[in-house]
Amino acid sequence: MKVTIAQINTTNGDIAGNTAKIVDAIAKARRQGSDLVVFPELVTHGYTSQDWFQDRDIISHVDDALTAIVPATAGITAIVGTVRRNEDNDGRRLYNSAAVITDGKLVGFADKSLLPEYDVFDDPRWFEPSPPGSYRLFDVAGKKIGVVVCEDFWNDKTFWKDRLYETDPTDEVIKLGADVLVSINASPYNKGKIRLRCDMVAHRAKLQKLPIVFVNLIGGNDGIVFDGASLIADEEGDIILQAPAFEEFVETVELDVRKPDARGITGGEIASIHNALVLGIRDYAQKNGFKRALLGLSGGIDSALVAALATEALGPENVLCVMMPSPFSSTGSIADSEELVKNLGCESRLEPISDAFEILLKQLNLHKPTKGGESLAAENMQSRLRGLILMAISNAEGRLLLSTGNKSELAVGYCTLYGDTNGGLAVLGDVLKTEVWAISRELNERAGREVIPNRIIDKPPSAELAPNQKDEDSLPPYPVMDPILEMYFEQKASPDEIVAAGHDRERVYWILNKVEHPANEFKRQQLPPTIIVSKNAIGIGRRRPITHKYRRQA
């Protein structure tokens, strides 16, 4: 049997556009002689459509997409992630489903049973779980096909040490006598996820002696990036078709080909983060109608990396870098920024803030800083003046403003609300400072030249809001702080576990109380959408109160 992976990039709510892509992919699969073409979860409507799935207009037109797709399946079977109406009076109005369509006829649905509500997921808010005992098989080209939707595949007791659910729908489908298992997914990217999926699919295929077709969504949707990296494993657990990550992909393979394929598992994790950020920028801009972007270029590594990523995502002709020196900006920062702009080939603009800063100091009777932290209002006013200029240019020229703050700074509140937090998209909001350096070096290595000047990469980090200011005047060194933040956010480690890993107790508690301080949570909840590249990230999946009195005691 020939099977096609149809890893396509969808847009939330663009039902007509998504349907057209589905129909085109079906036609391509047919030309390739495929028997079965498989699409990701909820490709008709977009997985991150959120409360649109409660909208009465969406519910009343729930069949529109399938009405257009069904006639396109002449001579082929398509499994399409979609929604179907719950005809009962009880429960949510929609099921999250896989529609199975054969030769112009809708054969049936496989509804999602396990509905995740952790991290970025909130499925029980929108969907009704599949009715008990509704599992079934579908006949395709003489094979019995078992179909499961995303989370229903992710609860294998032989693979996971800790499971979230007692039942395993995939086991139930296998017990019915499936010859081939199909899993359709909208599994977001985070560090380590691509390899994890490969291991999980290969493990189950080998254990059950069953070919598995695992298809995943591709594309950026707000801050969530889906990487694709779909795959097919044969009954020996060998990967015989591997879709590349972060790209659309429609390709066919014979299930018994017995030829390993590892195209999608190339490069290291830093390269994957790089690719996720580029896709996140490109899709957020394009899907929201922006052709051009801008950012403030300070001469530091964060803004330099954002400029390089934006240039890769949108083209150098569509990126504007604005340099806004203040009385405390070093001449080296301006020179380094000019060199970066030359290397990137993008547009630049000089908009000094010194005169406006002096006027406002006098008007507001503020003291000009003579050292870091002496006059925070005056320090922050420089950042807010820059934010004002950038937002004015964005407004006047229709450019998407990219925020440049990194996760390490945002975690502990080392940022200025309505200043450097301004923007339409926080590119590095889930990227630790040490990862910023690593991605910058990887970017230069990938290009085979010094795109980001090494002087920018190697210079000590500084906000340059006061004379001779350095980040380490206010914060622990980033190589010391970042491992603590990584354990806290990504592993949900307790303070004792972090200390046991070799970190200083006093420093651990200082950092965690900084992260959890109401003032810093207040800032983070006003950030632009953040491109997510890790588990438990700053962004849509993190839910904490602003108003609280909880403090950790060492």
pLDDT tens-digit map of 423-477: 999 999 999 999 999 999 999 999 999 999 999 999 999 888 888 888 888 899 9
Are residues 188 and 125 part of one domain? Answer: yes
Within a domain: 350: yes
Q: Identify the active-site residue in 21, 112, 407, 523.
A: 112
Cα gap 63→43, rounded to integer Å? 13
Are residues 241 and 110 part of one domain? Answer: yes
Are residues 164 and 201 part of one domain? Answer: yes
Domain that holds residue 246: 2-262
Are residues 222 and 317 part of one domain? Answer: no
Within a domain: 190: yes
Within a domain: 401: yes
For residue 167, give the CATH number of its domain. Answer: 3.60.110.10
Within a domain: 386: yes
**Are the CB atoms for 88 and 126 separated by under 8 Å?**
no
Residue 265 is predicted with a pLDDT of 62
What are the tens digits of pLDDT across the range 489-522?
999 999 999 999 999 999 999 999 999 999 999 9
Residue 330 is predicted with a pLDDT of 86
Percentage of residues in the chain with pLDDT exceeding 70?
A: 99
Alpha carbon of 194 to those of 23, 89, 216, 226, 230: distances in Å? Answer: 27, 40, 11, 11, 9
Are residues 278 and 258 part of one domain? Answer: no
Are residues 154 and 82 part of one domain? Answer: yes
User: Which stretch of 1-5, 87-91, 234-238, 288-292 has the lowest confidence by average pLDDT?
Assistant: 87-91
Cα gap 277→403, rounded to integer Å? 13
Q: Taking 70 as the threshold, does the pLDDT of residue 44 lie above it?
A: yes
Within a domain: 551: no
Q: Identify the active-site residue in 21, 41, 198, 287.
A: 41
Residue 133 is predicted with a pLDDT of 83
Residue 463 is predicted with a pLDDT of 85
Residue 256 is predicted with a pLDDT of 82
pLDDT band at 184 (very low <50, low <70, confident <90, very high): very high
Residue 264 is predicted with a pLDDT of 54
What are the tens digits of pLDDT across the range 354-412?
999 999 999 999 999 888 778 899 999 999 999 999 999 999 999 999 999 999 999 99
Q: Which residue has the higher pLDDT, 337 or 541?
A: 337
Q: Taking 70 as the threshold, does the pLDDT of residue 132 lie above it?
A: yes
Within a domain: 140: yes
Nearest partner of 457 among 430, 475, 438, judged by Cα: 438
Are residues 319 and 205 part of one domain? Answer: no
Are residues 246 and 345 part of one domain? Answer: no
Residue 373 is predicted with a pLDDT of 75
CA 335 to chain centre: 33
**Are the CB atoms for 41 and 81 separated by under 8 Å?**
yes
Cα gap 526→530, rounded to integer Å? 11
Are residues 285 and 228 part of one domain? Answer: no
| Burial profile 418-431: b = 16 or more Cβ within 10 angstroms, e = fewer | ebbbbbbbbbbbbb
At 394, which amino acid appears? S
Within a domain: 422: yes
Cα gap 387→427, rounded to integer Å? 16
Within a domain: 492: no
Q: Taking 70 as the threshold, does the pLDDT of residue 266 lie above it?
A: no
Domain endpoint, select from 262, 297, 323 = 262
Q: Catalytic site residue 198? A: no
Q: Taking 70 as the threshold, does the pLDDT of residue 238 lie above it?
A: yes
Alpha carbon of 201 to those of 43, 100, 190, 195, 197: distances in Å? Answer: 21, 22, 17, 10, 6
Are residues 218 and 325 part of one domain? Answer: no
Q: Catalytic site residue 87? A: no
pLDDT band at 224 (very low <50, low <70, confident <90, very high): very high
For residue 380, give the CATH number of its domain. Answer: 3.40.50.620
Q: Taking 60 as the threshold, does the pLDDT of residue 254 lie above it?
A: yes
Are residues 293 and 437 part of one domain? Answer: yes
**Are the CB atoms for 228 and 244 separated by under 8 Å?**
yes
Residue 554 is predicted with a pLDDT of 78
Q: Identify the active-site residue in 128, 150, 193, 435.
A: 150
Count of C-beta atoms within a 10 Å radius of residue 143: 17
Are residues 102 and 177 part of one domain? Answer: yes
Q: Catalytic site residue 442? A: no
Mean predicted lDDT score pLDDT of the chain: 94
Domain endpoint, select from 235, 262, 289 = 262
* Total number of domains in the chain: 2
Domain endpoint, select from 204, 230, 262 = 262
Residue 494 is predicted with a pLDDT of 95
